[in-house]
Structure 1
Amino acid sequence: MSTTPVLQAEHLVKEFPVAGSGGLVTRGRTFRAVDDVSLTVAAGETLALVGESGSGKSTTARLVARLIDVTSGTVRFDGQDVTGLSGRDLHAFRREVQVVFQDPYSSLNPRHTVERIVTAPLLYQGRKPPGGSKRFTQSLMERVGLDPNQWQRHPAQFSGGQAQRIGIARALAVGPRLVVCDEAVSALDVSVQAQIINLLRELQREEGFSYLFIAHDLAVVRQIATRVAVMSGGRIVEAGDRDSVFDHPQHEYTRTLLGAVPRIRPEWEAARRTRAAERLAVRREPLDASPARTGA
């Protein structure tokens, strides 16, 4: 089995020009949104990229998906450099990497039916929907938990959670190996978030693809991530497997983020209290074993 990561980004930098007075771009002035970011995503895993708004995580997602160009650095997919792809080569790459965006309503064309939205990536690739457009659309709708009889409806006729399922169906249409979820559940109600997270996990088990999951909500991240990378100020300040980052954070910024997570899930709070009690017991053990304490 190949050990080559599905995605490998090395020393990514993205700078944007800074506008001066009057809205005019000032020559030579730039803002560095992403600063020397390196990350890898293995086959079948979920890497969560987390941080506050403005930390650079969504810009990083767009860089690795080749939605925007890098200022410097390298993006490799399955070991091949895709940083400078264009034309047909870029089309082929986008068959392998799809994006689910934050706001389903703004990312879906309101004038298009579900059929046209879901089949658009295939048509963009110059491919015909297998089994015909209607059958293909209805099959994908069933897979993401939508009523296939609504294949001719428009996005505005669906709830937010349902519209996001359409976005997921569109991403699945070309059979990607990597799905980038850019704050894909942050605009949804908590109960709907859980439904979409469960759907994403189920699809990953069935298809074996990888996720780069962009989020600021650590409660959501813990439900889906295999590994976690924490971003602040355009840089990754901490990275590791999920439980290590959550249970033993090394960076002060990570500890601050975790401290802001509401303790609303009983199983998490119980586990946290158990770990705290175990640490306290270890610290007290020498004192409890002393003659004065045991009565010897």
Structure 2
Amino acid sequence: MSLLEVRGVTKEFVTRGEGAMARKSVFTAVDKVSFEVALGETLSIVGESGSGKSTTARIAARLLDPIGGSVVFDGQDVTRARGKDLARFRNNVQVVFQDPFSSLNPRYTVERIVTAPLTYQGITPKGGRQAYAQELMERVGLNPDHCRRYPAQFSGGQAQRIGIARALAVNPKLVICDEAVSALDVSIQAQVLELLMRLQRESGFSYVFIAHDLAVVRQISQRVAVMNRGRIVELGTRDQVFGAPRDEYTKTLLAAVPRINPEWDAKRRQKEAT
């Protein structure tokens, strides 16, 4: 059974032009999108800006409500979940956002930030919040003694690690990464990707990974969904999508990606096989 099933979800937004007499118009951001994610799997959703991938991610995380379709998590329909049912869902599904600084309260210490999900869920960790926050910091490669610092005292890459630590606090089954590395320098991107993959190997949770960078997607994914104008136009394994794309839009995206060094690619594949 799949951990997450998104079934035919649709989302529309109402927009209005400029001027007092401007008419309203309806924009379909997501149009009958369906996909599944297995436990321990990374499904990447890729597409250009405006393709609907981030809106899809927010629907899957129940940050937005669809006007049609359903979201099923661990066998339970959570599309209209409220109260305790929604709290239970959010205990199992966490989000890492694109801009770490905008998602971290600048007035809170790191300790308070990374243990916030515990507060919302009414969970008291063994050993206390400070010890647990230090454990989370160490787990994501940061100095545990820096828990009393504030977000502004960290670099962008470090701030994103804090966001990842916060997502891990409640031991989720699914982590949704919405352009989680796109705002980082290339060298820092690689470090954060390695961290994300290591954490998945250690804990076995799933990722829905939203990105526009196909080189990043190729590195982290088992399966890839390609979105264009609110619809999934191609869905398959990483090797299928990158090696034998069927849709013309996918071919266009791949043609714009710089060629990957074949020697490096062979080494990566050999590493994954061991």
Q: CA deviation at 1:152?
A: 0.4
Among 237, 243, 246, the residue aligned to 2:239: 243
Deviation at 1:269, TM superposition (A): 7.6
Query: Among 181, 197, 200, which residue is 1:201 paired with?
Result: 197
| 1:95 corresponds to | 91
Matched-pair contact (CA < 8 Å) for 1:263–1:269:
no
Point out the structure with max Rg over C-alpha: 1
Q: Which residue of 1 aligns with 2:5?
A: 8
Question: In structure 2, how many angstroms separate the alpha carbons of the residues matched to 1:119 and 1:182?
Answer: 21
User: Which residue in the other structure is 1:58 paired with?
Assistant: 54
2:143 equivalent to 1:147: yes
Partner SS for 2:189? helix
Match of 1:17 in 2: 14
Deviation sequence 1:120-139 (CA, Å, 0-9, x none): 00000111133101100000
- For residues 45 and 70 of structure 2, what CA distance do their matches in structure 1 show? 18
Cα pair distance change 1:265/1:158, threshold 3 Å: farther
Residue 70 of structure 1 corresponds to which residue in structure 2?
Answer: 66
Alignment CA distance shift 1:255-1:77 (3 Å): same
Tell me, which stretches of 5 or more residues in structure 2 are unaligned?
268-274
Q: CA deviation at 1:93?
A: 0.5
Decide whether the 8 Å contact of 1:179 with 1:209 is kept in 2.
yes
- Say if 1:127 and 1:235 are closer, same or farther in 2 by CA, change over 3 A: same
> How many angstroms apart in 2 are the aligned matches of 1:151 and 1:59?
32
Q: TM-score, normalised by structure 1?
A: 0.87
Identity %: 67
Q: TM-score, normalised by structure 2?
A: 0.94
AA aligned to 2:217 is: V
- Describe how 1:200-239 pairs up with structure 2 within 5 A: 200-239=196-235
Give structure 1 regions of 4+ aligned residues with deviation exceeding 4 angstroms.
23-27, 268-271
Residue 86 of structure 1 deviates from its aligned partner by 1.1
Q: 1:24 to 1:224 in 2, by over 3 A?
A: farther
Partner of 1:282: none
SS in 1 for 2:251: helix
Which runs of 5 or more residues in structure 1 are unaligned?
Answer: 272-296
Instruction: Say which SS state the counterpart of residue 5 (structure 2) adopts.
Output: strand
Number of aligned residue pairs? 267
Equivalent-residue separation in structure 2 for 1:229 and 1:132 (angstroms):
41
1:18 shift after superposition: 1.5
Taking the TM superposition and a 5 Å limit, the aligned residue runs for 1:145-184 are 145-184=141-180
Report if the CA contact (8 A) 1:32-1:234 is conserved: yes
Verify the 8 A CA contact 1:114 1:154 in the aligned structure 2: yes
Separation (CA, whole Å) in 1 of partners of 2:20 and 2:131:
50
Deviations 1:157-216 (A, max 9, x none): 011110000000000000100000000000001110010000001000110000000000
SS at match of 1:214: strand
Q: CA deviation at 1:89?
A: 1.3
Q: Which amino acid aligns with 1:218?
A: L
